Structure 1
C-alpha cells in the first residue's frame, strides 16, 4: 500500500518529529511510505526521513511552486492509496482535492489533529468545520484535542496517543558533564530546558516573565531554550527588556536535544495551547521532572507530584513558583525523575504506528 504523509513543512516541530520517529520504526513490508510538504524553507528533517527510507518531496519548489502546489498535490494523489494529513490547513485542502478525482483514482483520506481547534486561525478553523466530514478516518492526539472539535467531528474521531522512538532517543551521546561544560554550566547550576518554537501558542512571554521571577529568586537557576520561528525578534526583545542575560539562554535550533536533556535538571513549558507535546514525552523518557502549563493534552502526561507539576496558563507567577519548588529541592527532583521514567514507556511511537497501519489496511481493502 502506498501511503503519503502530508505535512506543511519539515522544520523542527513536534508533528514533524513524530513523522521521523514513525519512519524509523516503519518496517512493515505491506507499506511504502513517502512524504510531501509545501514549506520549501522548512527542510531540517528531510535527511533524517531519507535515512529511514522515506523520501520527502517539496510540492512548492520551482517556477510558480508557491501557487501551483495544490495542482501538484492533486497529481500526486493519483499515485497513492492512502493520504494521511498532519496539518489542519492541508487536511482541508486534500479533502477537497481528493473529491475532484474519479472514484477509482481517489485515495482514502486520513487526518491527525495535533492541536486544539481554537488555536487555529479563523479561516483554517472554518475550513476544518466544513470539510472534516470528508475524512475516511480521523485521529486526535489527546482527549482535549478531540473535545475541542465540533460535536460531529469529535464523535467521529479516535484518540491515538503518539510517542517517541525510545531506542533512537536513548542512544548514547555526549556525557552529561561534557554537554554541561560546552554550555558553560557551573557544577552548582540547576538547569531547566524548554524545547518550543517561537510561535504564539508556545507563549514565550509567559515563560520569560516566569523565568525572570524565578532566576531573580534563585541565582543558581539557568533556563535553556531550544527553538526558532516567526516571533524570534519579539522573544529576544522581551528577553533583553527583562534583563535575563545569561540566566536564560536562547540556543536556537539544535539537533542534539537528547544530549541537552541529559545535561539539565528539569523541563519547563509555558504554552497557551498544546496537543500532546513531543518534547514533554522526550523529557519524561529522559527522566526529567516537568513543570508545564495545564493546556491541551499535557495533563494526560504530567501528573502533579508524580512526574512534575502543572500550573494554569498565562500565569507567570504560578509557573515561577513551580520552577523554584523543583529547582530548590534535589530530593523532590529525584522522586519526580523516577516517576517520569516509570511512566514514559506508554508513549511509544510503535504503538501508534501499529494502530495507524491497521486503519490503513482496512481502508485500502474497502
Structure 2
C-alpha cells in the first residue's frame, strides 16, 4: 500500500503536526508513505523523520499537474487542507486514484462549483470531530463520513526539557502564566483573549499572558494590546519549535477561538497536565467536558472567558480534578496510535473497493 499525502499550507500548525505524526506512524508500520508539500517547516520535519518528500510550488496549476503526474505511482491520495483538496480533486481526473480528504475546520465550505466538484470527486471524507461532520452534512449534503479525532503523541511528555521549562518560568518570576498556542488568524479570535486579559488585569497584577504562534494578524494584535496598555502583561512569543516546553510552563492554557475542528494544542495541554479553559468552538466539546476535563464557555464572550480563568486559578481542587481527568481522557482516547490505526482501516477499505 502506497500513500501520498498532500498539504500546501505555509508554516507548521496543528494540521501539519497531525499529518507528520500520521506519516511517521504509517512509515513505522511498513506502509510506503510520501508527503507532497511546499518547502517549509513541514518539509524540513518530514526529512528529519525519514519521510519521503516531494516539493510543491506555490502555484496551484503547477501543483495540480505535479500531483496528477506523481499520483500515478501511489495507491491512494490523501489531502490534508482545503487548497490541497482542490489540487488533489482536479489531479484525480488524470491519475485516477482514490482520494481521501481530512477536514479539520468547522466553518462552512463555499457552495461554488469548485467546492461541489472536489467533494463529488472525493472517495472518503474524514472529519476530526463529529461537529465538523454535521457542518458538512448541512452545507454540502454528504451523508457518509468517518470521524477520526485529532491526536496527541504520548512521546510529547518524554520530550519535555524540565530545565528549559524552569528557564521559561524564570523569565516571569512571581507571575502566574496563562498561555495559548495558536495561529494568529481571525478564526482563533485572539481579541477575545485580550479583552478577557484586560478584565482580569484590572484586579490582578500577578499574571502574564503569553501567545505562541505566528500569523498575518500579529502586527494588528500587538497594536491592540498596546492601545489597551497591556504590553507588559500580554506578550506575543512567536513560533516555538519546542512548544511542549512552553505549554508545560503555563499554569493555565486558554483557547479563545470562534472556529475549530478539534484543537491539537488543547490535547497537548491536557497530556502535559496543564488545565484548560476553552470556548465551545467546533468539536472542542468532544474533549473539553465542562468542569470535568476543562472549563467550556460560549464563543466571543470575554467576560465569561475571564470568569472561567479566574475560577480555575482560585479553585485549586477543581484545577487538580480537571488535570487528572483530562490526562486520562487523552491517554485513552486521543493517542496517535489510535488515529493511525483508523486511517489504516480507511485506506484498506479503499483498497478493497479498488480490487
TM-score normalised according to structure 2 size: 0.92
Q: Is the 8 A contact 2:253 2:269 kept in 1?
A: yes
Paired residue for 1:180? 169
Paired residue for 2:284? 298
Corresponding position: 1:46 with 2:36? no
Task: Spell out the pairing of 1:245-284 with structure 2 (5 A cutoff).
Answer: 245-284=231-270
- Residue among 74, 83, 95 paired with 1:89: 83
Paired residue for 2:128? 141
SS state of the match for residue 251, structure 1?
strand
Corresponding position: 1:193 with 2:187? no
Paired residue for 2:103? 113
In structure 2, distance between residues paired with 1:20 and 1:113: 16
Q: How many residues align?
A: 350
Paired residue for 1:215? 201
Corresponding position: 1:348 with 2:335? yes
Q: Is the 8 A contact 1:46 1:56 kept in 2?
A: yes
Cα distance change, pair 331–117 in 1 and its aligned pair in 2 (3 A): closer
In structure 2, distance between residues paired with 1:30 and 1:23: 11
In structure 2, distance between residues paired with 1:239 and 1:231: 12
SS state of the match for residue 214, structure 2?
coil
In structure 1, distance between residues paired with 2:181 and 2:29: 34
Q: Is the 8 A contact 2:178 2:208 kept in 1?
A: yes
Cα distance change, pair 157–37 in 1 and its aligned pair in 2 (3 A): same
Paired residue for 1:167? 155
Paired residue for 1:307? 293
Deviations 1:299-333 (A, max 9, x none): 11101111211111111111111112212333332
* Shift of residue 90, structure 1, vs aligned partner: 2.1
Q: Is the 8 A contact 1:24 1:165 kept in 2?
A: no
* Shift of residue 127, structure 1, vs aligned partner: 3.2
TM-score normalised according to structure 1 size: 0.89
Cα distance change, pair 259–22 in 1 and its aligned pair in 2 (3 A): same
* Shift of residue 255, structure 1, vs aligned partner: 1.0
Task: Spell out the pairing of 1:145-156 with structure 2 (5 A cutoff).
Answer: 145-151=132-138, 153-156=141-144
* Shift of residue 242, structure 1, vs aligned partner: 1.4
- Residue among 224, 229, 236 paired with 2:222: 236
Q: Is the 8 A contact 1:202 1:270 kept in 2?
A: yes
Paired residue for 2:146? 158
In structure 2, the gaps of 5 or more residues are: none
Calculate the aligned-residue CA RMSD, in Å: 2.0
Corresponding position: 1:324 with 2:314? no
Paired residue for 1:360? 347
Cα distance change, pair 230–126 in 1 and its aligned pair in 2 (3 A): farther
- Residue among 36, 54, 57 paired with 1:60: 57
